[in-house]
Homo-oligomer: A and B are copies of this chain.
């Protein structure tokens, strides 16, 4: 049984956090589009982050690594107009932005982390951002409105804002955890998300929050794919300010396990929201692999299926083309016996078996069409080889994806 409940408030749900977002014109001149966001804690937080595995990294990642070396942060700043990657003077601009945030918050620049998403390769307009920071700071709110403004401000091609919060009990105290995330294209499980910021009032040491972050990213953002392109800017950060008053978690044990379970309960649904809102997507695709040799094997197979362009195109066309599912598993690099594989498609409209022990079944094409016309599609694969299981999430590829990405930069 789950021992947490959903609550309102996103990244402001936990005690002692305020957030906000405003428009300053980093890229777009549309005043309706908020483009800078800030999350601030009343007191210093134990904090940890993971970043893209891409060898080409945005400038903010180098700055954040230095600032988080001591495991402490007060504030997180995000701009959604310019990736500040492969662009002149990136680190200097990122440092100057952190310094401007620090002046507004009244903390050290080393306690500020910053993140960016947007166009790669253009020098960031530091002036327009730093000039806007006092107004951004003034806009902060510790209510749900603050999180809402922040979640809106970090969106790029996202069509829905993505925030979530839960409440649980750890060490006898009520603990809250909330997150905001963005990401719609350039998403592939190799760290995984573009940007995700999670706040909590749980008391936990820097070392243990880092451990919890690594355990969580593995089963959430690293199990989704939109387009197979791993971004230069991916950043997932957790900040814990301890205001829940629980005994600080400093080692593994029941409290740590409860915290990791709660962190996963926030991050897995946020990851699924990202896959579902993949650029141009009309379908969320869930791939469930069971009966594999190991969990690792199941994960490799499920990721290959959700990443297959041809499988994604088949789901777009509501075509029960399960041959492409087997084909994708076949080139995943995993060894398995194709003659043991069963495949079925499921959705709210029903479930239909299409492949039994590696051979096609005669099936009702009309029912298959009805199943695949639903928004949420599940591809169930039974390997018949062991106990390994894994679920990964992706989306279909559509005309709209190509439209969005054929003319993103200009």
Q: How many chain-A residues does the 8 Å CB contact rule pick out? A: 69
A269→B120 CA distance, assembly (Å):
34
A402 near B327: Cβ-Cβ < 8 Å? no
Minimum CB–CB distance from A409 to chain B (whole Å) comes to: 5
A83→B360 CA distance, assembly (Å):
13
B232 near A327: Cβ-Cβ < 8 Å? yes
The yes or no answer to A323 lying at the interface (CB within 8 A) is yes
In chain B, what residue has the closest Cβ to A335?
Answer: B55
The yes or no answer to A171 lying at the interface (CB within 8 A) is no
Given A323-B86, A324-B120, A331-B190, A406 contacting B316 (CB threshold 8 A): yes
Q: Quick one: which of B313, B319, B324, B331 contacts A410, CB cutoff 8 A?
A: B319
The yes or no answer to A119 lying at the interface (CB within 8 A) is yes
Q: Quick one: which of B55, B88, B338 contacts A338, CB cutoff 8 A?
A: B55
Minimum CB–CB distance from A288 to chain B (whole Å) comes to: 19
B360 near A86: Cβ-Cβ < 8 Å? yes
In chain B, what residue has the closest Cβ to A232?
Answer: B327
User: In the assembled complex, which residues on chain B have CB atoms less than 8 Å from the CB atom of A88?
Assistant: 359-360
User: In the assembled complex, which residues on chain B have CB atoms less than 8 Å from the CB atom of A402?
Assistant: 313, 316, 397-399, 402
Interchain residue pairs with CB less than 8 A apart (24)? A53-B331, A54-B330, A55-B329, A56-B326, A56-B327, A119-B323, A120-B324, A121-B322, A121-B323, A121-B326, A123-B360, A186-B310, A188-B331, A228-B307, A228-B308, A229-B324, A313-B401, A314-B408, A316-B402, A320-B409, A321-B409, A397-B402, A399-B402, A399-B403
Beyond A228-B309, A310-B405, A314-B405, 13 extra complex contacts between A and B, CB < 8 Å: A55-B329, A87-B359, A87-B360, A121-B322, A121-B359, A186-B310, A229-B331, A313-B401, A316-B406, A317-B405, A317-B407, A399-B402, A399-B403
